[in-house]
Amino acid sequence: MKGKLYLVATPIGNLEDITLRALKTLKEVDLIAAEDTRHTLGLLNHFEISKPLISYYKQNEKTKSEILIQKLLEGQNIAVVSDAGTPGISDPGEEIVKVAIENGIEIVPIPGACAFVNALIASGLSSKEFTFIGFLSAIKKDKREKLEEIKYETRTLILYEAPHKLKGTLEAILEVLGDRKIVLARELTKIHEEFIRDNVSNILERIDEVKGEFVILIEGNSESKKDLELSELNNKTLEEHYEYYEAQGFDKKEIIKKIAKDRNSNKNEIYQYFLNK
Ligand code: SAM
């Protein structure tokens, strides 16, 4: 019989956040695949769990996945853990899940801490709809390009960032997205847990006081790209509006219908206007 692959969430700071099910799973599996075996050994020692560990991190994800799949096919049960939080969320995990599915292996998620979920629910920003971005590229040009791509996103945006890159990332956010309302969720579940809710520029002014691990949450754009384009169109003259659609190859009847819809006005009035031209 094939073994099962468990994806076990571990604490993001406070060790009391480990779940009973996570502990039971870690005690019962045959092997634990860990992002950093030394780090996980600390966790296991704390809970008096003794288990064989194998390293499984981003750079060796592909080759290690093959080894782990072989063991799963032989019947071993394996738990994947990352250094903190939920595996597969800006952490290794995705690769082995894909290969395990291809090999018909059962995958069992063991829920627990995840930094962005806790940051979001306490942020005060809309949690109805959100876009999780994770880490932006460290390359300045790529970072800006990604921010340009999400500029008109109306949902709450969520980023992860390394402490020493926070200032540069906030500067890029200010430049590309504007002086939006943001929330820095700092040191979640730890003694110095804090939520800093302010505009980007105000936070940048006191950035040197801001220390620790962060999730960055950004209020979505108040107007979608479509709304902005529509208001730009409606600021044009009727003739310019007409030319805009004409250049896209629409015929007169279609153009009039479109203009009336954009301007929320009567089709016949628009028709009459162009009839007299
Ligand atoms: N897999 C993890 C999860 O489920 O959230 C995320 C791992 S990712 C490599 C690390 C990033 O998560 C950090 O750079 C930071 O942005 C965020 N993070 C992790 N722990 C945090 C904490 N205690 N407080 C605030 N942010 C945290």
Task: Give 231-257 pLDDT, tens digit per residue.
Answer: 888 888 888 888 888 888 988 888 888
- Catalogue all structural domains in the chain, each as residue range(s) with its CATH number: 5-113 (3.40.1010.10), 116-218 (3.30.950.10), 225-275 (no CATH)
Q: State which H helix or E strand residue 66 sits in.
A: helix 61-73
* All residues at 6 or more sequence positions from 32 whose CB lies less than 8 Å from its CB, including other chains: 26, 40, 44, 51, 52, 53, 54, 78, 79, 80, 81
The verdict on the CB of residue 150 being under 6 Å from ligand 1 is no
* Residue-wise DSSP of 162-173: -GGGHHHHHHHH
pTM of the full structure: 0.86
The answer to whether the CB of 213 is under 6 A from ligand 1 is yes
* pLDDT confidence bin for 201, thresholds 50/70/90: very high
Q: Is 56 exposed, middle or buried (0-12, 13-18, 19+ CB in 10 A)?
A: buried
- Determine the pLDDT at residue 217: 98
Pocket test for ligand 1, best of 16, 18, 56, 160 (most atoms within 8 A of CB): 160
SS3 at position 211 = coil
170: left (phi over 0), alpha (psi -120 to 50) or beta: alpha
State residue 266's pLDDT score.
86
CA of 44 to the centre of ligand 1 (A): 20
- Lowest pLDDT segment from 140-144, 162-166, 228-232: 228-232
